[in-house]
Chain A
Amino acid sequence: MAEDREILREIWEGRLPVCFTLATEEVSTPIAPDPFYLMVPRLTYFPLVTDKVRRHFVRCVVPEKHDNEMWLEFEKFPLKWHYPIGLIYDLLVTNSELPWQITVHFDKYPDNKLLKCPSKDVVESHLMHSLKEADALKHKNHIMALMQERDHKQLWLGLLHDRFDQFWSANRKLMEHSAEDGFRYIPFRLYAPQLTSKPFMQYLVKSIENEKRLTLEDLLQRANLNFESKGPFQVVIHGIDLPLETPLQWISEHLSYPDNFLHLCIRYSSP
């Protein structure tokens, strides 16, 4: 059971300032629209917080595009809406310049790169899918299946409406474990684009092995990758540089995203 509740709340309240600008080639009005500024929560997904952005810009594109799905881009990278916002930032933005400059598009949706997201239902479905996966890793008897539909809704609505208490009233059940054992396996994804062409690395890592609590260092060792080969690096989550000796059980209970996964980015100091 997570005891450091202040940490949970601080992580929940993490925000990033974003400056949205409409792609210049898509502006069809005589005067380009003003950029749109917004503070976005790190823990949520873009489609859940960008309705206002859409309303602001959509009237400035040609009428035929008014019903198109909006998509976002940073320095030519289309942003994967199904990644939590904080993960996208940790992964793509290395210069730490704020506000985060994001370009808005309504044309030429890159559907060979981005999943479709026609409605918030798709985001909910995606969240539930991830929660089930995390739960299957953490617990032998799947808590998600035993939870009532009402609790599933608490998780979704808590995230959608930015309500910490509502979300955690259900999420604490997913953080339960027997005192000695910890989680069966830690739900995590490791992002290291400099080392692999795979979008992320995922493998089985226990919380405790041979009566020893495993640490972040242990997790990295099991990747079978030579992280040092590219120079000194950090493991970043929520913008925090995690000490390698931190126990995985603690990290999982306190720093997981709402989907109950740890999304860990390997960041190198020098390019």
Chain B
Amino acid sequence: MGTITWEEFVVGVRHILAVSDSIGDGWHFRGSLEEHGGGYLAKRMDYPVAIGEPSERTLSARVATIDHDSVTEPYEIDPCSIDPDSSFRPVYGEFHVLYSLAHAVPTLYLRAWRRDGSCLEAEELWRDLTAAERRPSSDESERLRSLTQQEHPFLGEPWYHLHPCRTADMMDQIAGNDVGRVDAKRYFIRWMSTVAPLVGCPVSHHYASFR
């Protein structure tokens, strides 16, 4: 199936909030859990800005091309390069987990800001937010990496959004041989641990240990 109901989404949300509170991970809920599609999970991440220090990217990495937005050339990041102007680097980012009513899956929105208040664009998000979470490119990752700009359904402003269309398929594959209806908590954790790190939002192993 690969999809979840709003009620199951709420079960997942409550779990995230409970664990997050106990480990101080910063996830909180905005809106109403009682109203169908009435709110979303949010988390802010601050990025320490090191001025004049060598880039932390110890592995040479290639930036994947983006499906929908402008196509970027794959390039190698020189591990010895010094960040010439750290004012372009992100200062903080926000990650929102919304429920897609149409596709009946969770969906991720993100945005990152620089010190001057300007926002990072798609290519920069891939480069800067995912440096720490770099994984070898695979077909799976490539397909998941469809970051497009969308109007945030609650805030009305441009945010970057991971397409929900493929989520159901992906979750179907991940569920694999699970029999019957997947447990809502398990679904939510699986989804989040697969998707969030792709865009630089780490998911602690604590979320996977429940009950």
A–B Cβ pairs within 8 angstroms, 24 of them:
A112-B157, A112-B158, A113-B158, A115-B151, A116-B121, A116-B149, A118-B70, A122-B68, A125-B68, A125-B148, A129-B148, A129-B150, A133-B103, A136-B102, A136-B103, A137-B101, A198-B153, A198-B154, A198-B156, A199-B151, A199-B154, A202-B37, A204-B101, A224-B35
Q: Which residue of B lies closest to A130 (CB)?
A: B102
SS class, residues of chain A in contact with chain B: loop
Distance between Cα atoms of A220 and B101 in the complex (Å): 18
A203 at the interface (CB under 8 A from B): yes
Encoded as 1 (CB less than 8 Å from any B CB) or 0, chain A from 175 to 216 comes to 000000000000100000000011110111000000000000
Size class of A's contact patch?
A: 20 to 34
List, in ascending order, chain B residues with CB within 8 A of A202's CB. Answer: 37, 101, 153
List, in ascending order, chain A residues with CB within 8 A of B149's CB. Answer: 115-116
Residues of A participating in the B interface, judged by any CB pair closer than 8 Å: 80, 82, 111-116, 118, 122, 125, 129, 132-134, 136-137, 187, 197-200, 202-204, 224
Encoded as 1 (CB less than 8 Å from any A CB) or 0, chain B from 22 to 52 comes to 0000000000000111000000000000000
B195 at the interface (CB under 8 A from A): no
B119 adjacent to A111 (CB under 8 Å): yes
The distance from the CB of B6 to the nearest CB of chain A, in whole angstroms, is: 9
List, in ascending order, chain A residues with CB within 8 A of B36's CB. Answer: 203-204
Docked complex: B91-106 residues within 8 A CB-CB of A = 101-104
Encoded as 1 (CB less than 8 Å from any A CB) or 0, chain B from 119 to 131 comes to 1010000000000
Docked complex: B161-182 residues within 8 A CB-CB of A = 163, 165
B119 adjacent to A80 (CB under 8 Å): no
Known A-B contacts A80-B151, A132-B165; the reply to A137 vs B102 at CB < 8 A is yes
Distance between Cα atoms of A111 and B149 in the complex (Å): 11
Closest A-B pairs by Cβ, 4 of them: A199-B156, A133-B102, A136-B102, A115-B149
On chain B, the number of residues with a Cβ less than 8 Å from chain A's Cβ atoms is 26
The distance from the CB of B8 to the nearest CB of chain A, in whole angstroms, is: 15
The distance from the CB of A145 to the nearest CB of chain B, in whole angstroms, is: 9
List, in ascending order, chain A residues with CB within 8 A of B101's CB. Answer: 137, 202-204
Q: Which residue of B lies closest to A198 (CB)?
A: B154
Known A-B contacts A112-B157, A137-B102; the reply to A82 vs B151 at CB < 8 A is yes
Most chain-B CB neighbours within 10 Å: which of A115, A197, A202?
A: A115
Most chain-A CB neighbours within 10 Å: which of B36, B154, B158?
A: B158
Q: Which residue of B lies closest to A132 (CB)?
A: B165
List, in ascending order, chain A residues with CB within 8 A of B151's CB. Answer: 80, 82, 115, 199
Q: Which residue of B lies closest to A124 (CB)?
A: B68
Distance between Cα atoms of A193 and B153 in the complex (Å): 13
